[in-house]
Each structure stands twice: as C-alpha cells, then as structure tokens.
C-alpha cells in the first residue's frame, strides 16, 4: 500500500509540475508575441516599411484588429517610398473600410511617399514630422533597353506573340510609338485613380489635388500647408492623438502583430542576397508602381 501511495504521489507531482510548466510557457508565449487577450484600452500598430509589394500580411493584421473589441484604434506607422499599384490600392481600401468601425491614424516617419502616402490618405488623420518626405502623387513605369548591348555580344532575341502589344516593353527591341502611346494612357488612368482616392480620403477638392499631383515630393511641413497632412509630430504624438480620438483614458497599451516565424529560406535570403534579388526582379514583377526614388537628403 505504501509503495502504491508513493507511486500515485509521484504521478500526481509530475502532473502538477507539468501543468505548472505548461501554464508558464503559455503565458510567456502570449507576452513574447504581444498578443493581448485581456480587456483594456489598446491601440493596434501596423508597420508598413520598405517597398509595398505584398498586401496580404497587412490586410490580415487590419482584419484582426478590426475584430478585436479590446483594440480601440489603429495606428499606421509608414516608412515607405511606395510600391506596387495593386497592393497599395488594396491596403488603402481596407484602411477606409476599417476606419468606419474604428479610428485609424497614420504616422509618417522619414518617408511616406507615392504608394506610402496613398495608404495614409485613407486614414482619418495623418501626422508627419516637419522633415518627412511625403506626397509624390504619381505613377511610374519603366523598361530597360538592351538592344545596343545585344548587338555587341551578338545576341538576337526572337519573339513569337499572339498580339501586337503582348511583348510590350521587350528589352530586346526599340519601343514603337503606338506602344508608348498605349502605356501613357495606362499610366494616366492609374494616376487618375490615385488622385481621386487621395481627394476622397483627404476630403479635398479634386482640382486642388490635381494641381499638386505631378510627382512632386513635399516635406511634412509643406504637406500640412497643402492639406495633405493634418498635424506635425512624432510617433508618440500620433499615439496620444489616436488615444484621444478613440476615447482612451490614461496611457494606451500598444499592440503589435505576432512576428512571423523565420525559416531557413528567410535566413539564407537576407542582406545583400535579398537586396540583389529585389533589384533584379522588381522591374519585371512590378513595372507599374507608385514609387518615389529617395534622394540623398541629410542633416
């Protein structure tokens, strides 16, 4: 009997410690992932950094924040020179949609231009630093031309196509006048969409936006004077203003999305290798884009 009691006691002790360790691990994982399940006044932060090429991760986070009742407002932190037309428009649309349920504020960092500003214009309010580079309301499309290089190395490309515009932008030949005209109309149509959405999001007359939508970039201070930005301030100023808009009393708690697990490919394709791939394939994968080329502006 004593031996049986000892065995059951040890089993019970193991179960107890198993539950205890499991609980500690669960709580630790919750904290490390910054996933908040308790009730409180929270602000969901969405960081949009670098080239805008894939909208799905951002859309997923926005949807999660929209459904989470403990998150009272959403803060977009934008550090981007722009990116693809489709991804920028998708995120803009979702920002507008979420803004009907909860206040959304955009905080502009060092640069939020072209597609980056497109997204910001969907928010209820925009706060930028005085020296933020923003605006650049325009569309760009470019193709390389390797005809002279091909002549030197004796390479002659042969293309078989189903229609006269199917290989438009082919780097192995000169662009024809009708192809250039077609692309100009395409760019103009996308540009009109950009201008229309900015005017709607910022509640500005269409004519006013058209006058400044020639690709020019503005400082945060200039953008405020033009009505493209509401106020000047840093990230903390944006947090404080969003807390006020959301009716949060006291200091709000910031919630960040769960970080993506890194696999072997993520580790391999980092740094210079990743940068090289982006430079090589950007033009082919995303020729039509809202993008601003960052100049060397320093203080």
Which is catalytic among the residues 166, 176, 180, 275?
A: 166
DSSP string for 133-182 = EEE----EE-----HHHHHHHT-------SSTTTTTT-TTSPPPHHHHHH
8 A C-beta contact, residue 166 and residue 140: no
**DSSP symbol at 262:** P
Which is catalytic among the residues 80, 107, 114, 136?
A: 114
Closest C-alpha to 80, from 111, 54, 124: 111
8 A C-beta contact, residue 179 and residue 173: no
162 is catalytic: no
How far is CA 244 from each of CA 44, 77, 169, rounded to the nearest angstrom?
Answer: 14, 17, 50
Instruction: List, in sequence order, the alpha helices (H) in the chain.
Output: 2-32, 56-67, 85-99, 115-120, 147-153, 177-202, 206-212, 220-226, 235-246, 264-268, 271-285
Q: How far is residue 221's CA from residue 254's CA, in Å, rounded to a whole number? A: 27
Q: How far is residue 30's CA from residue 37's CA, in Å, rounded to a whole number? A: 9
Q: Which residues pair with 83 in a beta bridge?
A: 52, 290
Record the tokens describing residue 245, joined without a space. 């808009």
How far is CA 31 from each of CA 42, 59, 73, rounded to the nearest angstrom?
Answer: 15, 23, 21
Q: How far is residue 256's CA from residue 58's CA, in Å, rounded to a whole number? A: 12
166 is catalytic: yes
Record the tokens describing residue 293, joined without a space. 């080329």
Catalytically active residues are: 114, 166
């Amino acid at each position: 009997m004593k031996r049986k009691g000892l065995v059951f006691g040890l089993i019970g002790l193991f179960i107890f410690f198993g539950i205890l360790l499991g609980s500690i691990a669960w709580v630790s994982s919750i904290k490390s992932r910054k996933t908040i399940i308790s009730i409180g006044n929270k602000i969901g932060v969405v960081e949009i950094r670098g080239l805008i090429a894939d909208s799905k991760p951002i859309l997923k986070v926005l949807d999660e924040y929209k459904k989470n009742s403990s998150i009272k407002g959403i803060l977009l932190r934008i550090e981007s020179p722009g990116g693809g037309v489709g991804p920028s428009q998708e995120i803009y649309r979702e920002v507008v949609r979420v803004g009907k349920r909860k206040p959304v504020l955009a905080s502009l960092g060092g640069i939020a231009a072209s597609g980056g500003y497109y997204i910001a214009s969907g928010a209820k309010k925009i706060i930028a630093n005085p020296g933020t580079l923003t605006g650049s309301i325009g569309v760009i499309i470019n193709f390389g031309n390797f005809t002279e290089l091909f002549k030197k190395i004796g390479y002659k490309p042969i293309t078989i196509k189903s229609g006269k515009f199917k290989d438009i932008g082919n780097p192995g030949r000169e662009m024809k006048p009708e192809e250039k005209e077609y692309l100009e109309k395409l760019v103009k149509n996308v540009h009109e969409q950009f201008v229309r959405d900015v005017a709607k999001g910022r509640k500005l007359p269409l004519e006013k936006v058209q006058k400044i939508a020639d690709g020019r970039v503005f400082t945060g201070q200039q953008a405020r004077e033009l009505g493209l930005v509401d106020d000047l301030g840093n990230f903390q100023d944006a947090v404080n203003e969003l807390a006020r808009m959301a009716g949060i009393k006291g200091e709000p708690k910031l919630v960040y999305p769960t970080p993506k697990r890194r696999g072997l490919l993520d580790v391999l394709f980092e740094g210079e290798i990743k940068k090289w791939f982006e430079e090589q394939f950007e033009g082919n994968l995303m020729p039509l884009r809202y993008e601003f080329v960052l100049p060397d502006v320093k203080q």
